[in-house]
Amino acid sequence: LMNAAVAQGVEPAQIAQHCDSVSLCFSKGLGAPCGAVLAGDEQFISEAWRLRKLLGGGMRQAGVLAAAARFGLQRAGTTLHRDHNNARRFAEGVHALDSPLWSINLAAVETNIVMVNVQGAWPSPAELCDRLQAVSEEEVAETGQAVSVLLLPWSARTVRAVWHRNISARDTELARRKLEFVARKFQE
């Protein structure tokens, strides 16, 4: 919700106005250590409270966590916009590599998520993710860096990359270079 609101330049309420219920996680992009909110009509919230109690959920003295969530919300525009820019830079950099191993639809990169379409029978998304995560002596010797990139095999032919507040512009460039290194090794 917050990424969509920042990307569209609107308030979250404008996006959620037609929804019966909304949940918002304060961790990940907003940077709180944990926490979420749930909104809906009175009956929905009453049932959610009942189920939370039934399942043993709940915290006492959660003010410190609430303060972290508030801090994240106050800075959401700046933080999420930076994440979107890093994701865009990564997508453009990977697209510019013009590798036969993958493609990226740049028009689909609107927020902090980049979907990389893996082409051909090899490598599979899982193999590509394994190679991006692994660090070899050869990589260190060639690049002078040991970089491990964590991406998620999303489907049979797609890998998902997501940016959050702890990934810098430098980290983004290192990830692009790692993908370039891995592509070169696959092609050799």
Question: Which among 154, 156, 145, 157 is positioned nearest to 181, based on CA atoms?
Answer: 145
| pTM given for the model | 0.87
Asked if 15 and 8 count as a contact pair (C-beta separation under 8 A), the reply is yes
Asked if 92 and 169 count as a contact pair (C-beta separation under 8 A), the reply is no
The number of helices, as runs of H, and strands, as runs of E, in the chain is 8, 6
User: What are the residue ranges of CATH 3.90.1150.10 in the chain?
Assistant: 81-187
- Give me the residues paired with residue 21 across strands: 40
Give the pLDDT of the chain (188 residues) as one tens digit per residue: 999 999 999 999 999 999 999 999 998 789 888 888 999 999 999 999 999 889 887 777 788 889 999 999 999 999 999 999 999 999 999 999 988 889 999 999 999 999 999 987 778 999 999 999 999 999 999 888 899 999 999 999 999 999 998 899 999 999 999 999 998 888 87
CA of residue 23 relative to chain centroid, distance: 17
Superfamily of domain 81-187: Aspartate Aminotransferase, domain 1 (3.90.1150.10)
Asked if 143 and 177 count as a contact pair (C-beta separation under 8 A), the reply is yes
